[in-house]
């Protein structure tokens, strides 16, 4: 079975999410769609957060999240402990986000990327494996920062 992918977007990424979703389903990926389900104006936070959270809680293997530019969606996803969300606009960053940073969330801008370009990024991202080794120590350091920040906020 292929990976389970969570999706989440606001109205700005809705059409792109639907295109990516069709491709994922056609290629036997299991999809969990957290919405939104129209182009009606909504807050990206309400859909991106549960998609990212599903990855941190091991309910999904990865997430692909969207908003108009991808910026807001990346801010939200990266607030979830254990998430490494990568806002990508080209194949090089999509590949390196997995190869070196083991990104578990891909972020795409629905008003920035044409559907075919976005689909190419998704394919590259899903087909790239984490290199590990020297890069793992950097992932571990990121995790240490998350733990430290979480503790320091609890103590304030």
List the catalytic residues: 67, 100
Count Cα neighbours of 88 within 13 Å in the Cβ-side half-sphere: 30
Q: Which residues are within 8 A (CB) of 77 and not within 5 positions of it... i.e. 6 or more apart?
A: 48, 49, 51, 52, 63, 65, 83, 85, 105, 107
- In angstroms, the CA 52 to CA 65 distance is 8
- In angstroms, the CA 53 to CA 101 distance is 19
In sequence order, what are the beta bridge partners of 62? 5
């Amino acid at each position: 079975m292929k990976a389970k992918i969570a999706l989440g977007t606001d109205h700005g990424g809705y059409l792109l999410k639907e295109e990516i979703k069709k491709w994922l389903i056609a290629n036997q990926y299991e999809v969990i769609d957290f919405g939104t389900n129209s182009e009606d104006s909504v807050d990206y936070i309400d859909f991106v957060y549960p998609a990212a959270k599903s990855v941190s809680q091991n309910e999904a293997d990865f997430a692909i999240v969207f908003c108009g530019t991808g910026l807001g969606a990346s801010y939200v996803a990266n607030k979830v402990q254990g998430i490494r969300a990568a806002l990508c606009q080209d194949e090089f960053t999509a590949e390196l986000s997995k190869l070196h940073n083991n990104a578990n969330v891909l972020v795409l801008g629905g008003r920035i990327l044409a559907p075919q370009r976005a689909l190419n990024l998704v394919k590259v991202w899903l087909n790239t494996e984490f290199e590990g080794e020297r890069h793992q120590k950097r992932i571990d350091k990121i995790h240490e920062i998350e733990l430290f920040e979480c503790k320091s906020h609890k103590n304030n």
